[in-house]
Amino acid sequence: MKIPTHVAIIMDGNGRWAQQRGLPRLLGHREGANSIRACVEACQQAGVQYLTLYAFSLENWKRPMTEVTGLMGLLESFLRERTDEMLRKGIRLRAIGRLQDLPASCYQLLRDSMASTAQNQAFTLILALSYGSRAEIVDAVQSIARDVKAGKIQIDQINDQVIGDHLYTSDIPDPDLLIRTSGEMRLSNFLLWQSSYTEIYVTPKLWPDFRTTDLHKALEDYSNRHRRYGGVAE
């Protein structure tokens, strides 16, 4: 079976999962953390090398403060409880986004976990935190403009490669497969530049219900796709 090098997931449906059960939304997010662990293990076993999870968007800061605080608490718990496990399993942790927006304690834990796992090479887990793709592109344009002003690059040298080199994901391959749970048919400002030729798989499953068998279905579907990159099918 053809296995994608990089899988990206929009983890949607935690709130709806909780509401359907008459539970607080935060319990949906907590249950969703179990899906994260299952997908990391399944991706690693299948031979996927990179997994990017849309964990917290720039827009999510607009949610009620109680929910935002709870989400930050879940992130801190994940970092405290899983860093040693990632070290044992050879998992390197990365994060993309405007990370400086995170609470100071959370940001420090994240930096410590990334530093601890930086030499791991078996698998890379990337968390998109305080992330928005348009903001990423704006940050890249501003960085390129500073380089032009400093004489490091000429305007006519700016191309796709230069822009890619200034994105948060400059050293990460573009995703081959993007999975979205909960049946929604949109990218929600996630990896817009990087997903130009990404295969998209949408499942009606809510994220807390998404487990290993669901990931395997997505990988099987991907293996049957013919990626032409604008060319003609053979």
Active centre residues (catalytic):
12, 60
Read off the tokens for 127: 């968390």
Rounded Cα distance, 135 and 98, in Å: 9
Q: How far apart are CA 210 and CA 219, in angstroms?
A: 13
Phi, psi angles (nearest 5°) of residue 77:
-65, -40
C-alpha 197/C-alpha 228 separation (Å) is 9
As a dihedral over the C-alpha atoms of residue 164, residue 166, residue 168, residue 174, rounded to 10 degrees, the angle is: 10
| Residue 225 backbone dihedrals phi, psi, to 5 degrees | -80, 155
173-200: burial string, b at 16+ Cβ within 10 Å, e else: ebbbbbbbbbeeeebebbbebbbeebbb
